[in-house]
A and B are shown apart, each in its own frame.
Chain A
Amino acid sequence: MKRDAIGSPIERKTLIGQRVRKPDAPDKATGKTRYINDMVLPQMLIGKVLFAGRPHARILRIDTSAAEKLPGVHAVLTGKDAAGLKFGFVRDNVAIKDKVRCEHDEIAAVAADTEEIARRALELIEVEYEDLPGVFTPESGAAQGAPLVHDNFPGNKSLHFEFKHGDLAAAEAASEFVVDSVFRPHHVTHCCIGTSCAIADFDHNGKLTIWTQTQYPYNYKMDLAPALGIDPGDIRVIQPPIGGAFGSKLDVYPYEPIAALLAKKAGRPVKVIYSREEEFRASPTRQAAIIHMRTGCTRDGVLTFRSADVLLDNGAYTSWGPTIPVIMMRTTSGHYRVPVVDFKAQAIYTNNPYAGSFRGYGNVQTTFATAQQMDMLADMVDMDPLEFHLKNAQKSGEVTPQKSFLRECALPECLEIAAKTSDYSRKRREYAALRDKPGRYKKGIGLASSIHNAGGAKIHKSDGIGTILKVDDFARVTVISGASEIGQGIDAVITLIVAEELGVPLEHVTIVNNDSDIAPWDVGVHASRTTFIAGNGTRRAARKAKAQILNAAERMLGEPADTLELRGGFVVRDRCGTPLIDLERLLRRMHFQAEPELVMVTDYYEPKSEPEGAKHISDHSAAYSHAVHVAEVTVDTLTGEIKVDKVTVAQDVGRVISRMGLEGQI
């Protein structure tokens, strides 16, 4: 009760953009947070997976009888338990395989009382293979007569993407300089501190509860259901605190349906958790690519066209990963003004571990290629690269060939700030002059820029988010949000926005965003959308609650609602800050009256972006962000060792909500 404070005016204060502690930080820093690794359910079994250990083979025979007889083993799965239960982006994957297509293919799984028994059971499974010739690069996979990874995908062709704009031949003819190069960005693993883990449990109505570290709980149900042959509506997804995602949890991977199939067969909860070694082996990677890029410009250094012919190493199965050309083509066609664009990408099946989605979503690969070619062209034109970048950088108000509308484009400012702060132009000239002089150590400086969607990417039918917000009798706020916390800091963002709108302390905000049976729909954490989309959703819900509270205050106090504000736990006069009533007291009066009302509101926020569409011509994000990085390195020419001396970053981050979240991510 703060009634005694009534009288002294309460000033308008804001925590938005301040360095405020993340709500989950104390528990995480002290080890109190219970991750999925720590979770133990009564009667829970441990599941373990048998990997093939060879890249391409037929399974001639598999004998699990000895494993099944081992005391303490409760379920054993082989390919026949998952037969026909195809999942994945093009339904080419099953939880347990009947043919080996990559080294980590899951051939069998067991659930046992302990991990030791499960391991021993795996050792007792006999498998006889007939090895087959494999394909290990996209080029060899695409070659005539190459062994097929999947019989029903001729030419080993997986997904294909294309975007064309303008007359390429004419643009080439009008180009004074053309640079033509091939870039090969490689596989990268996410290497999350928390390894892959799922716990699955069925009730006797056939409903599955799965504890997993997903970053897209609602569409996850759609993707998981076919791997189990159940209705997506019968899946409840609970997300314990996560030990890293970086895009990797934007898909269903075989260990998740394996946990569920084991749980179903054993009739008990089953946990599958990968060791670090298993994680490196079985988790997806960033897409390796072969990018053949060509860019042209005039004698004056004005870009004339850019073409990119991309081969993606799909790996053995198609996850969401091979959809990255959707982002690759936006980088190819935008941030530098290219009037003519010709982009195509073909994902090729290989017997390599399959690639998944990875933060940046293809942008990293094409940004590398475009940045290299900008420097090459600048040298050909004999222009300072900074000047060349600035001359071609897009500006606010421009529309890219794919119809991305750059409402605010900070690329020129980012270029100027990063170059000035790092003294880029002078250092580049100096280091270049020293390149052929004697000396073991050489220095280098490089500049690269990027565009990325910063307000979602409407690749699904909706890019929206549902929010439920309630304020209880003690003025404690609960936000039930579809936005998942995967370490990116959305809990801090939601807390700050609620505190800002409702004038309550940060500690009085509770967030429920880890249970698909409770929280409303959200498309998932991806495309740098969550602060923007969930932040706007939270603000809209909080404003609805505030309107309800201030209207009640108007009725009780006789002062117009539009002259009132919520501050410091009180209803105050907006103009002078004079507190009129304690918020808690007002809420209880609203609740316990003849016509009672509780403050509980809902909101569904859909950003004003356009669906991606099959032609890829749409303003698919509500905002676009630009960044420029300058890296300074020292190279030991005798050992090849490279030391990064300094990185200067100029990044358009928009309005900062959680400053520590921002500082942690740049």
Chain B
Amino acid sequence: MQEITSYLAPRRLDEALQAMADGDATVLCGGTDLAPQTESGMRQYKAKLLNIRRIERLGGIEATGDKVRIGALTTISEIRCNPALAAIAPVLVEAAEHFASEQIRNAASVGGNLCNASPAGDMIPALLVLGASVELACWRDGAVRKRQVPLEQFFVGPGKTVKLPEELLTGVVFDRPAAGFVGRFRKSGPRPALEISTVSVAFGARVAGGRLSDVRVAMGSVAPTPLRARHVEAALEGKALDAATIAAAVAATAEDAKPIDDVRASAWYRSHLVRVFVEEVLNDVRGN
């Protein structure tokens, strides 16, 4: 076990990024994943423990222009209670509703939920159907360098992302959904709260003239990473939501969802739940 040799709590982003430049810092925000993971030995602390909570302007929700930006420090509770998001992207608020428990929602940040890169991460499918990208920042050659990565390219495996050790996730951005956008989120687990999803499904699309366009479907807990369900999307794109389309989309889930058996559920049950949720969500959208 490696000892934590220093604890840092900078107020400025550049200070934090400089501390991370050697790749030997553990980032602490809400700590709701970090604490149990280090406690159980799943994960080791690096030499520096870097508390990013005090960094100015790293939190907050900006939803005034064409882009919506959610700062990395924004808690799940803040997303859940944000009136602008409730109007613009209710699917995100719906996902926040189903996230863990009140105490964890108050501490956990959206940045942490993304960087933890759990296949079951609750905010991820909702952000995927909004077409979100993440902002990554690092200190290089004496300056803060930033890049954007589409969220669907961010995850590479359970707990693994393309983020480099010296990079900090500073926020998540997405285009303000167009008029006629509808979104849905559905999650399942044996308990109504404090539950790691057995399966989650998010849906987002524009509905105009009875037809779907810009369809995005995302799934959690059915593969090593949360994923975009391309086959389901293809079955829906440009179609009218009738019984045949819904049946085709449900059938296409088999191409996208490749779940495994584990302690929380069998692969069979997960595949079944995906079909149920996709059908339920589409019928719900059709009904409205």
Contact = CB atoms under 8 A, between A and B. Distances in A.
Interface of A: 116, 119-120, 123, 275, 277, 638-639, 641
Contacts of B1: 116, 119-120, 123
Q: How large is the interface on B (under 10, 10 to 19, 20 to 34, 35 or more residues)?
A: under 10
Across the A-B interface, give the 3 residue pairs with the lowest CB-CB distance, nearest first: A638-B276, A277-B40, A639-B276
Interface of B: 1, 3, 39-40, 188, 273, 276, 280
A123 B273 CA distance: 42
B276 A275 contact: no
Contacts of A116: 1, 3
Contacts of A639: 188, 273, 276
A275 B39 contact: yes
A194 to B, nearest CB: 17
A639 B274 CA distance: 10
15 contacts: A116-B1, A116-B3, A119-B1, A120-B1, A123-B1, A275-B39, A275-B40, A277-B39, A277-B40, A638-B276, A638-B280, A639-B188, A639-B273, A639-B276, A641-B188
A123 B276 CA distance: 47
A277 B39 CA distance: 9
Contacts of B280: 638
A641 B189 CA distance: 8
Contacts of A123: 1
A279 to B, nearest CB: 12
Contacts of B3: 116
A119 B44 CA distance: 14
Contacts of B276: 638-639
Nearest to B40: A277
Nearest to B188: A639
A186 B40 CA distance: 26
Contacts of A275: 39-40
Given A120-B1, A275-B40, A277-B39, 8 more contacts: A116-B1, A123-B1, A275-B39, A638-B276, A638-B280, A639-B188, A639-B273, A639-B276
Contacts of A119: 1
A277 B35 CA distance: 13
B74 to A, nearest CB: 28
Nearest to A120: B1
A441 to B, nearest CB: 12
Contacts of B188: 639, 641
A275 B42 CA distance: 14
A563 B276 CA distance: 77
A638 B39 CA distance: 38
Nearest to A277: B40
B273 to A, nearest CB: 6
A638 B1 CA distance: 47
A644 to B, nearest CB: 10
A415 B136 CA distance: 64
Contacts of A641: 188
Nearest to B275: A638
A273 to B, nearest CB: 13
A436 B273 CA distance: 22
A363 B85 CA distance: 51
B205 to A, nearest CB: 23
A71 B9 CA distance: 32
A116 B1 CA distance: 9
Contacts of A120: 1
A473 B3 CA distance: 58
A342 B24 CA distance: 68
A120 B276 CA distance: 48
Most chain B beta-carbon neighbours within 10 Å: one of A120, A123, A275, A638:
A638
A641 B277 CA distance: 13
